[in-house]
A and B are shown apart, each in its own frame.
Chain A
Amino acid sequence: MHVLLKELELPHATVGCVECLSVAVLFEQVLLSFFGCDAASLLPRSPSLSDFVRVYRQQRSQCPSKQTRYIVMEKAELLRDADANLLPALLRLQELVEDNVTVVLLSEIVWDKFRPNTGCFEPLLLHFPDYSKGELQQVLSRDKHPSYSAEFYSSYINILLGVFFSVCRDLRELRHLAALNFPKFCEPLAEGKVKETDAHKLWRNIEPHLKKAMRTVYLREVSSLQWEQMQQTEERDTAAVRGLSAHTHVELPYYSKFLLIAAYLASYNPARTDKRFFLKHHGKIRKTNFLKKNEKTSNHLLGPKPFPLDRLLAIFYSVVDSRVAPTASIFSQISSLVTLQLLTQVSHADQLDAPKYKCAVSMDFICAISRCVCTCFLIHGSRRENRIVQVNGPFTSFLLKENVFFL
């Protein structure tokens, strides 16, 4: 859009709707681009749309233009959240100011979602088709490195697209990934091990690297700077990357870990199974008709359920191997888990005697945490329930059924 407007040298004003916290910013930018800063200063302190149109009309009568003026608004979907009259007024701007002005709205969201309740002046809709794989390859090959040949770079782009195309089609993301990973791709070339045309070896070198990039940089778990530093240091590392949501990022005290595990068990196991798992001598649980009917959806799919504090403590005491006294430090650790957003408080803040909580962490987090704890947990996740059997010490006999995890 910019290239077109600049090439044709048309008078235009570009407004990024993300920057316009209030409409005053929008009005000022438009008046500034079209008529200069004295026009923008004519607007009163908190201008309404009426003031904007009035000042525009005055300016237009002072300096009429033979060409059409263009106002380009990026991320136009944010206009829907502004005042209800702003979008319809902008669509009718040509009528209201009686000038040759065109408003161009750029957005990723379809027009049907923009339409206000009582209708508005329907704009012309132009669809920008997405890039195909070939077109992406062409565009990405344009920013080639000066010291390498064009075919070399395009073979690199080919490999990159092969890995990332099925996941992401955004040109900006792909460009970023291409720029970050190119030095690594050229490494064996620089070290003299491989020639430019040796495609297979280059592929073998770069492929695990790209796969790692998908898990980390693509997800913005590590920043680009960290990624480049990691490339320069020892590559053969099997330790977990210190990403934003890495489990090693948070260091919890000993009892907090057990509290968190107990919270996970309380959230994902139904309450009636507690007796069976955590007591030494339990009876048989008879399934009633009601239970048989509602067994279909696994708790893993529906999300964590809330549990009262007493249940948490009961499970906690049975899970912890040593005897723990119910002191204030245990309770304060529960509150700090809530502050860290590893638990969420479901009950109202002023219900002090029976607070309810929910576990807000995933299975991987729990697995990582219990690895630090020296007991082994066996999680038998069937379609219906989560059975956790605690096996202490060297007793490693367990039953192998479906979806068995050993931590």
Chain B
Amino acid sequence: MSKRKLLQAHLPAGECVSQLQEVLRQRLCHQQLPGRPEGVEAQHKHLLELLKRTSVHGESNSVLIVGPRGAGKTMLLKCVLRDLQEEEEEEAGKNLLQVHLNGLLQTDDRIALKEITRQLHLENVVGDKVFGSFAENLSFLLEALKKGDRSSSRPVLFVLDEFDLFAAHKNQTLLYNLLDVSQSAQAPVAVVGVTCRLDVLELLEKRVKSRFSHRQIHLLSDPTFAEYLGRVRTRLGLPDHFPDGRFAADWNASVETLCEDKSVEEVLRRHFNSSKDFRSLHVLLMLCLSRVSVAKPSIRPADLLEASRLCFADAKANMLHGLSILELCLIIAMKHLNDVYEGEPFNLQMVHNEFKKFLQRKSNSMYNFDPPVILKAFEHLQQLEMIRPVDSSSAKTQREYQLMRLMLDHSQIMEALQKYPQCPTEVKQWAMSAFG
């Protein structure tokens, strides 16, 4: 008994850490499918049932998987397909033909049709090239699908990612034809659409909507904080088949202590309150993971705090940190103009005027710059998109008189001023004074 334990492999520390990184990164970055999808068991069962009916019994179906971004729709679909593959091998039945389309890639019905013919390896594909015009391809495909019936032809599964983008094609021909085939008694076809828009049915035309079965699977998961913590644990925990058992045990123990730490719980609660989806959690954990090294083979609470700070950092305030003093003074002048005139657009001359009023009061010759230099600073701010022109008719008006709006908030500017390195006190005082 004890001899068996002694034979466990002990890898060197560097190897352990790199193995650890590989396993965890596969999980966090590569959308590795979990063994069992958590929190979506009912939906999983529903979808599996549906696809089984198509592939085994030859029943045509259409369904939409709807959920916000990062809810796990594609993951659910892939899990179901994987489970279906495993089950099918037991039955010597028909195999499901799969066609995967993506709304981002197939932006046009023509391209989509070519992709379908390629993936189904129909006869008008030689190597990679699809012959024939759009109408020919469409009629060929429909012929091929119509000829079969339940008993003799193989079922086809069409997966449409970003389904809402397909609804933007001309006349929605592809959607119409696919859903038409799924409604009539022809070759068994399953159409699964995946989309993030909850109002996707409004986008469909009447004739397309009527052919759709109105079956929707919603992934509006609502985990509690305890479940969220559980997810963190499962994401960070090492599996049992990790080569070095002792290292894995140490690591899992450190993850346990991490999750029980009070400050960590606060940070996670803050993240939980802002968004509950998987992706933001993965970003946070990824940032923590990148600090794990041979010298420090565990995640400490300080790492998590730091990662959280990075996630919640205001990008615009960071950009303000890098501006020159002249540009900062211009932004303060714009802020004063916004305060006095309640958000009305301004132009460079007004900002310059405001700045000159400040200079007169302080009688400081350090900031006496020529108007062209000020124009260059103003244009740099426009390039960074801190200010934006109100309308884009730049041909008619001179650059100095073009009206602009400030894209920064009052509080952002004040916060950035506090952090600005070596900010001259008179500039700070000017910013905080009430009436310019």
Contacts and interface: CB of A to CB of B under 8 A. Distances in A.
B401 A113 contact: no
B349 A301 contact: yes
Interface in B334-364: 347, 349-350, 353
A127 B313 contact: yes
A301 B196 contact: no
A49 B104 contact: yes
Given A129-B322, A302-B401, A124 B283 contact: yes
B30 A94 contact: yes
A219 B326 CA distance: 15
Interface of A: 48-50, 53-54, 58, 83, 85, 88-89, 92, 94-96, 108-113, 118-122, 124-125, 127, 129-130, 132-133, 165-169, 214-215, 218-219, 221, 245, 300-304, 344, 346, 360, 362
A110 B316 contact: yes
Contacts of B318: 127, 129
B400 to A, nearest CB: 7
B396 A125 contact: no
Contacts of B280: 122
B231 interface: no
Contacts of B319: 108, 110
Nearest to A90: B104
B315 A92 contact: no
B315 A127 contact: yes
Contacts of A88: 104
Nearest to A113: B385
B383 to A, nearest CB: 7
A383 to B, nearest CB: 11
Given A83-B107, A166-B324, A219-B373, 14 more contacts: A48-B107, A49-B104, A89-B105, A96-B102, A108-B384, A109-B385, A121-B69, A124-B287, A132-B421, A133-B421, A133-B422, A215-B370, A302-B349, A344-B396
A92 B104 contact: yes
A88 to B, nearest CB: 6
Contacts of A124: 283, 286-287
Contacts of A165: 324-325
Contact of A108 (B353, B372, B373, B383): B383
Given A48-B107, A167-B326, A303 B279 contact: no
Interface in B233-247: none
Residue of A50, A54, A219, A245 most packed against chain B (CB within 10 A) = A50
A126 to B, nearest CB: 8
B323 interface: yes
A89 B397 CA distance: 38
Given A50-B115, A110-B316, A301-B353, A89 B384 contact: no
A219 B367 CA distance: 17
B106 interface: yes
Contact of A129 (B118, B279, B321): B321
A218 B376 CA distance: 9
Contacts of B350: 301
A85 B401 contact: no
B322 A166 contact: no
B384 A219 contact: no
Nearest to B277: A122
Contact of B315 (A49, A96, A120, A125): A125
B165 interface: yes
Interface in B301-326: 310, 313, 315-316, 318-319, 321-326
A245 B375 CA distance: 13
B261 interface: no
13 contacts: A48-B108, A49-B105, A50-B105, A83-B107, A96-B102, A108-B384, A110-B319, A111-B315, A121-B69, A127-B313, A129-B322, A167-B369, A214-B373
Nearest to B69: A119
A158 to B, nearest CB: 15
B422 A166 contact: no
Nearest 4 Cβ contacts at the A-B interface: A130-B322, A303-B401, A110-B315, A166-B325
A166 B367 contact: yes
A92 B313 CA distance: 24
B272 to A, nearest CB: 17
A53 B283 CA distance: 26
A85 B166 CA distance: 12
